[in-house]
Amino acid sequence: MENKYVITIGRQFGSRGKEIGQALAQRLGIAFYDKELLTLASKESGLCPEFFEKADEKNSGTLLQAFATGFTFGAFQYNDFLSNDKLFLIQASVIRKVAEEGSCVIVGRCADYILRDKKYKVDIFVHADIEKRVQTVMHRQNISEQEARELIRKMDKTRPSYYNYYSDKAWGVSSSYDLSVNSGLLPLEDTVTFIQNFVEQVLKQVK
């Protein structure tokens, strides 16, 4: 396809959304961005990567609570130096920039909303049932079942809070996306094939 396009992927924690995004980007021969956006935002702004890592997919309220005791880096105290909203704007600028540079897959970070005016874009949401997510997180992070469930519980609060705070849509609600996929129903490769076919068909229809 000649036009530059973007595939955004929202995902539940433990649903293998990142793996699906990586495999999809590899198949299509396009760039992939997840944590890479934090590094690019750091380079773009000249700020330390730690600022973006601490604020990653957390809204202002969540972050201010996290730094209530005063996160410090170097000579600066975080809440005196810059707000999470400012970090979001820097990251949003980077997302727009990479979307203009070439076709890509972007995971999370409200990319679907930030790029809402982009013509050639397909928004995907990846979810899975809780038991499959628990097993994925246990294996991926080498933690106990109880620890995996607690981590999922926390992330299931953080990600929707971030998305709903910075966008005018609802996280995980099917109407917010072009396609919602249960990644636990098929093997990963088959799920990627399904999404790839959907994306290619949708982009063909864009005039």
- Torsion, Cα 57 59 8 95, to 10 degrees, reads -90
Supply the pLDDT for residue 53: 67
Question: Mind listing the pLDDT tens digit for each residue in 30-59?
Answer: 999 988 887 787 777 777 667 666 665 566
**Is 176 part of a structural domain of the chain?**
yes
Q: Quote the number of domains for the chain.
A: 1
Of 203, 207, 205, the closest CA to residue 5 belongs to 203
Per-residue pLDDT tens over the stretch 87-125: 888 889 999 999 999 999 999 999 999 999 999 999 999
pLDDT at 43: 77
Average pLDDT score over the chain: 85
Q: Is residue 29 a part of any domain in this protein?
A: yes
User: Is the predicted pLDDT of residue 18 greater than 90, yes or no?
Assistant: yes
Q: Is residue 22 part of a domain?
A: yes
Question: DSSP string spanning 37-50?
Answer: HHHHHHHHHT--HH
Half-sphere exposure of 198 (CA within 13 A, CB side): 18
User: So what's the pLDDT on residue 56?
Assistant: 59
Q: From residue 165, how far is each of 18, 67, 82, 147, 160 by CA, in Å?
A: 22, 18, 18, 27, 8
Is position 128 within any domain?
A: yes
Q: What is the pTM of this model?
A: 0.84
Q: Residue 26 in contact with residue 194, Cβ under 8 Å?
A: no
Structure token pair of residue 156: 């299931």
Q: In this predicted structure, what is the pLDDT of residue 36?
A: 80
What Cα–Cα distance (Å) separates residue 44 from each residue in 26, 41, 89, 94, 163?
26, 5, 12, 8, 23
- In a domain, residue 139? The reply is yes
* Euclidean distance between CA atoms 122 and 199, whole angstroms: 7
Confidence of residue 74 (pLDDT cuts 50, 70, 90): very low
Please check whether residue 207 lies inside any domain of the structure.
Answer: no
Contacts of 122 by beta carbon, 8 Å cutoff, 6+ apart: 5, 6, 7, 8, 178, 179, 198, 199, 202, 203
Q: Residue 133 corresponds to which amino acid?
A: R
CA 138 → CA 16, 141, 148, distances in Å?
Answer: 13, 6, 6
Q: Residue 192 is part of which domain span?
A: 6-200
Give the residue, 153 or 75, on which the prediction is more confident: 153
Does a structural domain hold residue 185?
A: yes
| pLDDT higher than 90, residue 207 | no
Mind giving me the DSSP string for 156-205?
Answer: HHHHHHHHHHHSSS-TT-GGGSSEEEETTSS-HHHHHHHHHHHHHHHHHH
Closest by CA position to 45, among listed 16, 87, 9, 4? 87
CATH code for position 149: 3.40.50.300
| Residue 131 contacts residue 139 (beta carbons within 8 Å) | no
- Residue 206: inside a domain: no
